[in-house]
Amino acid sequence: MTDPDVLDYKIHELKEVQRVAWRQLADLSLTTFERRQVRNQIRQSNNELRQYLQMMAERVRFRVRPAEEVAEGFGKPNFLAEADRIDPVRSAHPR
């Protein structure tokens, strides 16, 4: 697995841990101690999830885009039109 895949997997795993923990917390047969343990598990997984989501956000923010993707945003340059704009005398004479 590549690094982003591992990050996605960990985020998914922590979300699942939280889902299960919240479901357990809704169980009325839990003792006070068990409820405290589940709440601590939720807090811990929440902190870890926050860290992984922050890492994911930084990767998306600072990812290196392929040159083709960057170039598409500018369109195809017209160098003759640019030369005419810079040197209007030259553009007045036919080529």
Q: Nearest to residue 10, comparing CAs of 60, 61, 40, 54?
A: 54
Going by pLDDT thresholds of 50, 70 and 90, the confidence category of residue 10 is very high
The full set of domain ranges for the chain reads 3-92
- Dihedral angle sign, alpha carbons of residues 1, 45, 59, 74: positive
* pLDDT, position 29: 95
pLDDT in tens, 21-75: 999 999 999 999 999 999 999 999 999 999 999 998 888 777 666 666 655 666 6
In eight-state DSSP terms, residue 64 is P
Cβ atoms within 10 A of the Cβ of 5, count? 9
| Cβ proximity of 18 and 49 under 8 Å | yes
